[in-house]
Homo-oligomer: A and B are copies of this chain.
Amino acid sequence: SHRYRIAVIPGDGIGREVMPEGLRCLRAAARAHGFGLDVTEFDFASADYWVRHGEMLPPDWREVLGGFDAIFFGAVGWPDVVPDHVSLWGSLLRFRRGFDQYVNLRPVRLLRGVRSPLRDHGPGDIDFVVVRENTEGEYSSIGGRIFEGTDRETVVQETVMTRTGVDRVLRYAFDLAAARPRKHLTWATKSNGISITMPYWDERATAMAGRYPDVTADSDHIDILTAKFVLRPQDYDVVVASNLFGDILSDLGPACAGTIGIAPSANINPDRTWPSLFEPVHGSAPDIAGRGIANPVGQIWSGAMMLDHLGEPDAAAQVVAAIETVLDERPEVRTPDLGGSGTTEKLGAAIADEI
């Protein structure tokens, strides 16, 4: 039977608390479906590592991680010790770029057992995927400051989009939409205000739409799109967006579906030249870290996305089904963000048992 080599990076804060539960559920799925997991844990991409080494990653991180089948990631960031833009640009954002994980896939589903903050919506009602561009766009490191410390002080930062970068994520999103029952795609734009890059995004999306006659494609400006997520989330199926807009939509979407504590994400290199990385949407959450109450479902669901990517779709589906069953039928193990009084460990163990 098949064995998969998984690099595990817990990171900071609640990343370290939810990771053991993610692994517990992966191991349960491996036993149930007869495949093996070789897990190697790494301590880099954390504030602790930064304190010891003055860097977030070892110099040979590409070689160290490049041979794994996948990377299972917790969360990074501990601003009391290292500023977020240093820790993130020094680790997670380097992985996304260095391993050319140009698709960030973030499913948004209202599960049974989870209460949406939206009045008129129940399970099944919200079910879409945010496809976020993950390597370029607004997340650039080009720019700087001039006239520092004077009244004329000015900072500039460039958004950079390439035809290669825009087209490949659009193609992925259209392929995904074409394979889903509703075959509907919405691209996020802001071409009325952001007058160069966003009209370009529209232009490429319009061209791509022409190649997918079976997909009904439309666009919304990001401002009204955030409003519509709240007012009509049922209208969305596949939502494709630039790096920044995708970041926003993939926190807002999960909030509409109950909590960002359960939202998973996959940073995918579709060409499979490098490993893909799977992580919860939530961050390291310094405010609740250390209390054992973090919701492990985002980590566990991310593990399911990893199994799917590795070629174990049945195991993946079973993990997601187990999450939903436990949240629905065992309210006593729900974590506080879901209105319960359970702990990270209790919820994780319950899901692993169910698997």
Contacts and interface: CB of A to CB of B under 8 A. Distances in A.
Interface stretch (A32-40, A254-262, A317-325): A254-262
A160 to B, nearest CB: 5
Contact of A139 (B141, B162, B193, B247): B193
A226 interface: yes
Interface string A160-174: 111110000000000
A348 B88 CA distance: 51
26 contacts: A85-B191, A85-B193, A85-B195, A85-B198, A115-B119, A117-B120, A118-B119, A138-B193, A143-B197, A151-B163, A153-B163, A154-B160, A155-B197, A156-B158, A156-B159, A157-B194, A158-B158, A159-B159, A190-B244, A193-B243, A194-B244, A223-B251, A224-B251, A224-B260, A230-B230, A231-B259
Interface residues of A, number: 66
Q: How many copies does the complex hold?
A: 2
Contacts of A119: 115-119
Interface string A191-221: 1111111111000000000000000000000
A226 B229 CA distance: 11
Contacts of A226: 226, 248, 251-252, 255
Interface in A110-154: 115-120, 138-139, 141, 143-145, 150-154
Contact of A162 (B117, B152, B163, B164): B152
A244 B195 CA distance: 12
Contact of A252 (B115, B153, B197, B227): B227
A153 B256 CA distance: 37
A193 B88 contact: yes
A247 B231 contact: no
Chain A to chain B: the 8 pairs with minimum beta-carbon distance, closest first: A227-B255, A84-B192, A153-B163, A223-B251, A157-B196, A226-B252, A143-B196, A157-B197
A160 B156 contact: yes
Contact of A163 (B154, B158, B248): B154
Given A85-B193, A141-B196, A252-B252, 13 more contacts: A83-B199, A84-B192, A117-B230, A139-B195, A143-B159, A144-B196, A145-B196, A154-B163, A158-B158, A223-B251, A223-B252, A224-B251, A248-B248
A170 B102 CA distance: 36
A122 to B, nearest CB: 11
A250 interface: yes
A349 interface: no
A303 to B, nearest CB: 22
A222 interface: yes
Given A88-B193, A118-B117, A230 B256 contact: yes
Contact of A138 (B161, B194, B243): B194
Nearest to A230: B255
Contacts of A228: 255
A116 B291 CA distance: 34
Interface in A87-126: 88-89, 93, 115-120
A195 B141 contact: yes
Nearest to A227: B255
A231 B248 contact: no
A71 to B, nearest CB: 19
